[in-house]
Amino acid sequence: MDAVYVGIDVSKDRLDVHIRPGGQTFAVARDGKGLEELVTRLRTLSPQLIAIEATGGFETIAAAAIAGAALPLAVVNPAQVRHFAQAVGQRAKTDPIDAAVIAHFAEAVKPEPRPLPDQQARLLAELVARRRQIIEMIVAERQREKRAENVRVRRSLTRTIKTLEKELPEIDNDIDTLVRGSPAWREKEDLLVTFPGVSNTLARTFLAEVPELGTLSRREIASLAGLAPFTRQSGRWKGRSMIGGGRAPLRAALYMAALSAIRCNQTLKPFYQRLLSAGKPKMVALIAVARKILTILNAMLRDRIQWQPA
């Protein structure tokens, strides 16, 4: 019997489902009754894999319902699915067609099913994301304040900045309460902050952005962050290796950790200097430090040991 692969396209009001290799299709409402019907029908299929496209949060409820039914689920990157559609010559784009493409992608690529974060993990991720948004808004408002000439505009900007600055400690307190209230997160944070260059804020960002930390290999974790260089070569031509993809917020946090580590970490500071002495550009050397930090943190959580310079 052929393995069954299911693709689900998520919109605001409904879920379009396509089943391969049979080609059956159906749609359900994106509400409690619709999700119940979806799970019931999927269980009868015993699918090898169910793929659902990440769509800015709309997929969360459907993914949680499928994962809660113990069905194999992979939340896939929409950019990868779109590139796959272009590769197979699928130019048209409707919800049913997208569901068919997602199912085809699941059958051809077979992305690895991964468990969804639990409710507490999703809450931490939302709080950390909100903290990042507030900081970005403060920076943007300060830049506008510098350029504003009208007094009333400057006063408005000042009031907004003060409001945002007042909100920031509230978010920090919520994050602190959530992390310190969980024995597992508290243990991980206490391990992470022993690494010179990783503050409590960065440690909590890592907990939120990469819950897989400590469970993957060094190559897998580097790829997840978009820090694994990929080779560009064809015939006699050999291009410069590049990095890309991965989780941008995690990469930004690692960049900040690397900036701190090259100043205060007595192991990574000489490593950075050696790369510069070998003629590496500063950004390349900094990325190498960030990748090394991620590998070390991954090993620390995997082995449950504090930072040891030796």
Q: Which of 81-95, 229-243, 261-275, 280-294 has the lowest mean pLDDT?
A: 229-243
- What total number of domains does the chain contain? 3
Cα-based distances in Å from 206 to 96, 252, 294: 37, 11, 10
Question: What is the pLDDT at residue 236?
Answer: 66
Are 204 and 299 found together in one domain? yes
pLDDT greater than 90 at residue 160: yes
Burial (CB < 10 A; 0-12, 13-18, 19+), residue 70, is exposed
Q: Which of 24, 32, 71, 31 is nearest to 52 (CA)?
A: 71
Q: How many angstroms separate the CA atoms of 306 and 299, rounded? A: 10
User: How many angstroms from the chain centroid is the CA of residue 160?
Assistant: 30
**DSSP structure class, residue 193:** T
**DSSP structure class, residue 139:** H
**How do residues 49-92 score in pLDDT, each as one tens digit?**
999 988 766 777 788 788 878 888 888 888 888 888 888 888 87
Are 126 and 95 found together in one domain? no
Question: What is the pLDDT at residue 139?
Answer: 93
Q: Choose the final residue of a domain: 81, 109, 137.
A: 109
33 in any annotated domain = yes
Q: Sorting pLDDT into bands at 50, 70 and 90, what band is 19?
A: very high
Q: Average pLDDT of the chain?
A: 85
46 in any annotated domain = yes
308 in any annotated domain = no
Q: Where are the beta strands (DSSP E) in 44-184?
A: 49-53, 73-76
Q: What angle do CA 16, 111, 120 make, to 5 degrees?
A: 80
**How do residues 204-261 score in pLDDT, each as one tens digit?**
888 888 888 888 888 888 887 777 665 666 666 565 655 566 678 888 888 888 998 8
Angle separating helix axes 183-192 and 151-180, nearest 10 degrees: 110
Are 19 and 81 found together in one domain? yes
pLDDT greater than 70 at residue 137: yes
Angle separating helix axes 78-87 and 95-109, nearest 10 degrees: 90
Tallying the residues shown for the chain, one arrives at 310
Q: Choose the final residue of a domain: 51, 85, 109.
A: 109
Question: What is the pLDDT at residue 245?
Answer: 65
Question: What is the pLDDT at residue 310?
Answer: 62
Element (H, E) at 29: strand 25-29
Question: What is the pLDDT at residue 242?
Answer: 58
220 in any annotated domain = yes
**94: Cβ–Cβ under 8 A, 6 or more apart, which residues?**
none
192 in any annotated domain = no
Are 97 and 161 found together in one domain? no
Q: Which residues on neighbouring strands pair with residue 5, listed in sequence order?
A: 20, 49
Q: Choose the final residue of a domain: 55, 82, 109.
A: 109
In the chain, the percentage of residues whose pLDDT exceeds 70 is 91
**DSSP structure class, residue 242:** B
Q: Using the structure block, give the residue that is written with the tokens 């991980």.
A: 188
Residue type, 49: L
**CATH number of domain containing 70:** 3.30.420.10
Strands 49-53 and 73-76, bridge-based pairing: parallel
The pTM of the full predicted model, rounded to 2 decimals, is 0.68
Are 9 and 105 found together in one domain? yes
Question: What is the pLDDT at residue 96?
Answer: 87
Instruction: Calculate mean pLDDT across residues 174-190.
Output: 88
Question: What is the pLDDT at residue 241?
Answer: 58
* Domain span holding position 276: 200-303
177 in any annotated domain = yes
What tokens were used for 233? 């070569």
Q: What angle do CA 289, 293, 297 make, to 5 degrees?
A: 175
**How do residues 192-220 score in pLDDT, each as one tens digit?**
999 888 888 888 888 888 888 888 888 88
134 in any annotated domain = yes
Q: Which of 88, 92, 6 is nearest to 41 (CA)?
A: 6
Are 137 and 81 found together in one domain? no
